[in-house]
Structure 1
C-alpha cells in the first residue's frame, strides 16, 4: 500500500504499488509468477525430450504456445509501464494511446495462446490414444482452430476503426456479448476434451485406482472451466466501469493465471507416476498386449530357445547381453495403449526382461569302467 506521506531521505518510492487508485503492483507480481510458470514448462519439456531423445507429440505446437505466451506476458508488462492498472486521469496523454494499443494486442495474443494450448493437447491425445477413433479428436482440433480464428475476429474487430480505444460498453456496447460467445465455446471445448480422456481411459483394462490417477493427470484442465467463468465476470466489471483502465487490472490478472494454467496443465502428461501406472516397485514396465495370453506364454517360452531367425530376443554366448529388438517395444518406457487382437478390449501387459549368462559346467563321471 502506498502512503500519502513523503518517503524518508535515501529511500526511493517503489516501482509499482497496489491501492485503491493503482493496481499495477498486483498485475506485475502475478504476471511475473505466471511468466515463471511458462519458463518452467519449457524446461520440463526440454528435460523430458532430452531423456527420451525425442520430442513429445505436439512438441512444435507446444514451443509455439510457450513463445506466444511469453510475448503476451511481455506486452502486459509494457502496458503496465505506460499506465494500465491505474485511473485513466493519472495517465499522461502521450502514453495513453501506446498503453491501449499494447493491451489490445495482449488481448488478441491471449486468445491465440488458448487456441494453441487446446491444439497442442489435441495433437498429444491423438498420439497417446491410438486405439480410439481419431475422427472425434481431429474434428475437435479443427473446431479449436475455427474457434481461435473466430474469437480473434470478434475481439479484434470492434465498433470503430480504432478498436484499441474501445475498452468499455460506453465506447462499444457489443463487447461483452463478444466475450461471452468466446468464453462459452471455450468452455465447451474443454468439456469435450475431458470427455474424450474419460472415454479413452475407461477402455483400458487397468484397475479403477489407476484409471482415476490417469484421469486426474490428463483431466487437470477441468480447472480451466470455472476459471474461464471467473475471467468473464471480471471482464464484465471492466466493461461496466467508469474506470476501465483501473478495474481492468483484475481481468488482466485473471487472464494471466488462466493462460499459465492452460500451459502448465499440458505438463501433467509427462508425470510418469500418473500416466504410467506404468511402473511398479520392481521397475517392471507395462506395454501393449497384442496376442492372447496363451500365445504370449508360448512366445515367451520360444524366446528362451533362441534360433537364428529370432530377431527380437537373442542371447550372445559370452557377454550375456540381449541384442537390440527389431521392434523395440519390450524396451519401451512409456505405455502404449492399443487394441488387442482378442477383441476383449484393451490390455496392459507386464514385460519381463531376462538375460542368460554362460557358466562352465562339469559332468560327473559315470560309474564303471571306460572302454
Structure 2
C-alpha cells in the first residue's frame, strides 16, 4: 500500500486521484461526462418538443429515462465516495459494506436505463410509422422482459446478502452477466433491423432510405460497448481486488448509459428531419387511412403530424388536409390496417390584408365587364 503523498505547505490535497491503487478520478470524470450527455440530450429533446408544438409518447418516456439515469449517476458517485475504485486494503470494513450495497443499486439502475432507452426508441418508431405493429409490440415486450429478467438476475445472487457477491465467490454471477449482455446485444440487433423492415415498402427515394437507415443505425455503437462492459465485468469478478479492478467496468457502463440516452435525440437532428420535410416546411409522413369509400378511394385522414409549430391559431383554417402523394405497396388490399401511404401535411395560413380599391373611370369598369 503506498504511503500518503507529501504536499507543499498551503497546497490542499486533490479531491480525488488516479494511480495504480486508486481509480476514483477516472470514475468521477467518466460519470460526470455521462451526466453531461444525459442532461444535454434532455435539453435538445425539450427544445425540439417545444419547437414542434407536439408532445409524443416517446417524449414522456425520455423524461423517465433521464430521471432514472440521473439517479444512477448520483448513486455511482456515492459509491465512489465510499471507496469504489480504490484498492480493497484502502477501504475500511464499514465503508466497504456500504459501498457494496450501493453497488447493487448501481447495477439495477444501469439495467433499467438501458431497457427504458430501448423502449423509448421503439415508441419513436411507432410514431414514425404505423407499419409492422405486431413486430413492434413483440420487440417492446422483449425489452420489458429484458428489464425484468436482468434486474431479477442481478438482484438475486448466490447468498442472502447479494450486494456482497461482486467477485468469484459467487460462481453464478458471471453467467448471469453473460446472459444479460447476450440478450442486450440480440435486442439491439433487432432494433437496428427494424427500420429496414418498415422503410423497405415505402415509396421513397433510395438515397433518402439509405440516409434514414444510416442515421438510425448509430445505435450500433451500443453493441461493442455492451461487449466491452462484459469483458471488464469478467475482469472484476475474476480479480482478487474487485473494488479496484471494477472501476473499468463502471466507466464503460457509464459511457454505455450516456450514449444510450444521447441516441434518443436522433429524431431531433436536422439531417433526419430534412428527409421528411422540404424547403417549404411540408412534412412527408406515413399514416394509415381510417376508412375508405365503397369506390375504393381512400378518405382523408383526420390525424395529423405537424412539422412546424403553429404560432398563431387565429390564422389557421378549419383543418389540415392530408392527401396521399404516393400509394403504398399495400394498395389494393382490403384490410385497412395494412394500408399505408406517404402523406404530405399542408397547413394553409390565411392572413388579413387590407386592400384599397382606387376610383376607376366608369369606362374602365365597362371594359372590364366585357
Note if 1:134 corresponds to 2:133: yes
Deviations 1:120-150 (A, max 9, x none): 11222112111x1300000111111111101
Question: How many residues align structurally?
Answer: 331
Alignment partner of 1:209: what SS? helix
Asked if 1 retains the 8 angstrom alpha-carbon contact of 2:322 and 2:345, the reply is no
Deviations 1:251-300 (A, max 9, x none): 00000000111111111011133133123345454355999xxxxxxxxx
Q: 1:337 to 1:53 in 2, by over 3 A?
A: farther
Alignment partner of 2:57: what SS? coil
Match of 1:324 among 313, 317, 341: 317
CA distance in 1, matches of 2:185, 2:251: 19
Q: Which residue in the other structure is 2:212 paired with?
A: 214
Asked if 2 retains the 8 angstrom alpha-carbon contact of 1:287 and 1:329, the reply is no
Q: 1:194 to 1:338 in 2, by over 3 A?
A: farther
Note if 1:71 corresponds to 2:71: yes
Q: Which residue in the other structure is 1:228 paired with?
A: 226
Q: Which residue in the other structure is 1:347 paired with?
A: 342
Note if 1:119 corresponds to 2:119: yes
Q: Which residue in the other structure is 1:239 paired with?
A: 237
State the shift of 1:341 in Å.
8.1
1:22-41 superposed matches below 5 A: 22-41=22-41
Deviations 1:314-354 (A, max 9, x none): xxxxxxx9752423659xxxx99994885597435585958
Q: 1:285 to 1:10 in 2, by over 3 A?
A: same
Asked if 2 retains the 8 angstrom alpha-carbon contact of 1:114 and 1:259, the reply is yes
CA distance in 1, matches of 2:197, 2:211: 14
Q: Which residue in the other structure is 1:298 paired with?
A: none
**Larger CA deviation: 144-153 vs 342-351:** 342-351
Note if 1:150 corresponds to 2:160: no
State the shift of 1:249 in Å.
0.3
CA distance in 1, matches of 2:182, 2:340: 35
State the shift of 1:160 in Å.
0.4
Instruction: Report the TM-score, using the length of structure 1 for normalisation.
Output: 0.80
Q: Which residue in the other structure is 1:164 paired with?
A: 163
Match of 2:182 among 181, 184, 197: 184
Alignment partner of 1:42: what SS? helix
Alignment partner of 1:96: what SS? helix
Asked if 1 retains the 8 angstrom alpha-carbon contact of 2:82 and 2:99, the reply is yes
Unaligned runs of 5+ in 2: 290-313, 333-338
CA distance in 2, matches of 1:347, 1:225: 32
State the shift of 1:94 in Å.
1.7
Alignment partner of 1:347: what SS? strand
Q: Which residue in the other structure is 1:202 paired with?
A: 200
Match of 1:265 among 255, 263, 266: 263
CA distance in 2, matches of 1:158, 1:366: 97
Alignment partner of 2:202: what SS? coil
**Larger CA deviation: 24-33 vs 338-347:** 338-347
Deviations 1:156-192 (A, max 9, x none): 11100011111111x1011111000001111111111
CA distance in 1, matches of 2:148, 2:287: 41
State the shift of 1:214 in Å.
1.4
Q: 1:338 to 1:32 in 2, by over 3 A?
A: farther
Q: Which residue in the other structure is 1:43 paired with?
A: 43
Asked if 1 retains the 8 angstrom alpha-carbon contact of 2:115 and 2:144, the reply is yes
Asked if 1 retains the 8 angstrom alpha-carbon contact of 2:188 and 2:220, the reply is yes
Deviations 1:195-235 (A, max 9, x none): 11112122222222211221122222111111111111111
- The RMSD of aligned alpha carbons is 3.1
Q: Which residue in the other structure is 1:255 paired with?
A: 253
Instruction: Report the TM-score, using the length of structure 2 for normalisation.
Output: 0.81
Q: 1:215 to 1:336 in 2, by over 3 A?
A: farther
Q: 1:322 to 1:266 in 2, by over 3 A?
A: same
Alignment partner of 1:73: what SS? helix
Asked if 1 retains the 8 angstrom alpha-carbon contact of 2:128 and 2:286, the reply is no
